[in-house]
Amino acid sequence: MTPKFRGCPAELRARLAGPIPSLKTPFHQDGSVDYKGLRNLIDRNLAHGAKALMLTAGDSHYVALTEKEIAEVTKVTVEHTARRALVIAADRYYHTAQAIEFAQFAKGVGADVLMVMPPDWGGSSTPQSFAEHYQTVAEVMPVMLVSNVFISRGQKFGLETMKLVLEATDHVVAIKDDMCGEFARKMSLLVQDRWAVISGGQKQNHLNNQPYGCDGYLSTFLTFQPRLTHAYWAAITSNNPAETRRIIRDYDNPFFDLVLGQPGGFNAGIQAMLELNGIAKRWRRKPYHSLSDRELEAFAHGLKKLGLLD
């Protein structure tokens, strides 16, 4: 049955406001999925006040998982969350029929929203075909767009697609933005009265877009340093720009400089933080690089210097 709402319901928007953790799929050293570690990660975020949990094609390592594993990660996340928070499931470059099938699965196991990432290899899609894809999947369950698929096509393509989606369906409820900057501002002005807007990445991206109608943002610190997350959000809600600038200057920017400089890049560092915080191990599936013992020790030293590792 088609969901009965127009745009993002107030209750859903409230749960998408503020910091939202994106779940990283943990692995054992042999490459198998560490479901105990995933449950630990869910519990940690819920204990720190998460109102929603987000699975994503990127952070959740969908490019390195089988279709069966993606379904199992989704199922385990929903079951272990047990309605303690909103669960945003995600697909990964699924063609329309496959996306419909996965949406039926995600709805069946109890996910609340589905982030839809349609394929566009070789610039093969159009704004019209994208809009039809989103509209069709949204007939199954509430849909979140992700602007990552617009990056290679540019602002004009993305904005035209969203205009068509707004005209075609009332059952898209949110968008996660990865493009940032000018696109994010134009996108928010276009959709914010109908869709919740979630900023990906760093606090500075949220702060840049917040005046234009950005509801929430993906938070790395909610998992690892919740005091900073809650301090930042308190500064936002109390309109304290000096405090938001201080947190970004003293913690957010230095952290991202450190983690982006790790061998294997950002995600190698984030997976290592799971180990440094006693949640799961640092391993990633080959050929991705996992930090060595020596690299992990140096990374931990850098985090302690920043006051980001207890």
Q: What is the reported pLDDT for 2? A: 42
Whether residue 201 is predicted with pLDDT greater than 80 in this model: the reply is: no
Structural domain boundaries, residue 192: 10-237
Task: Count structural domains, the chain.
Answer: 1
Question: ∠ CA(117), CA(198), CA(194), 5° rounding?
Answer: 85
Per DSSP bridges, beta strands 172-177 and 113-116 are: unpaired
Please compute the mean of the pLDDT values over residues 221-239 and round it to a whole number. 96
Range in 6-10, 44-48, 78-82, 142-146 the model is least confident about? 6-10
In a domain, 26, yes or no: yes
Q: Which pLDDT does position 5 carry in this prediction? A: 54
Q: How far is CA 116 from CA 21, 51, 91, 95, 127, in A?
A: 18, 21, 6, 10, 15
- Asked whether residue 59 is assigned to any structural domain, the reply reads yes
* pLDDT of res. 240: 97
Let me know if residue 122 belongs to a domain: yes
List all residues 6 or more positions away from 86 whose beta carbon is below 8 Å from its beta carbon.
12, 15, 16, 51, 52, 53, 112, 113
For residue 310, name the pLDDT band (cuts at 50, 70, 90).
confident
| Interatomic CA distance for residues 158 and 162, integer angstroms | 6
Confidence of residue 3 (pLDDT cuts 50, 70, 90): very low
Structure confidence at residue 131 (pLDDT): 98
Of 38-47, 128-137, 196-205, 257-266, minimum mean pLDDT range: 196-205
In the predicted structure, residue 107 carries a pLDDT above the cut 90: yes
pLDDT exceeding 70 applies to what percent of the chain? 98
- Of the listed ranges 4-8, 161-165, 237-241, the one predicted with least confidence: 4-8
Kindly report the average pLDDT of the chain as a whole number. 95
In a domain, 280, yes or no: no
Q: Is there a domain that residue 296 lies in? A: no
Closest CA to 42 of 8, 88, 110: 88
In tens, the pLDDT along 205-223 reads 999 999 999 999 999 999 9
Local confidence band at 274 (pLDDT 50, 70, 90 cut-offs): very high
The residue with greater pLDDT, 8 or 51, is: 51
Least confident window among 25-34, 196-205, 224-233, 234-243: 196-205
- pLDDT value at 184 more than 60: yes
Q: Write the CATH number for 193.
A: 3.20.20.70
pTM for the model: 0.95
What percentage of residues in the chain have a pLDDT greater than 90?
Answer: 95
pLDDT at 69 over 50: yes
| Distance (Å) of CA 170 to CA 138, 159, 196, 205 | 9, 17, 13, 27
Whether 305 is covered by a domain: the verdict is no
pLDDT of residue 6: 66
* 196 occurs within a structural domain: yes
pLDDT (mean) for 163-181: 96
Residue 48 lies in a domain: yes
Residue 4 confidence class, pLDDT cut points 50, 70, 90: very low
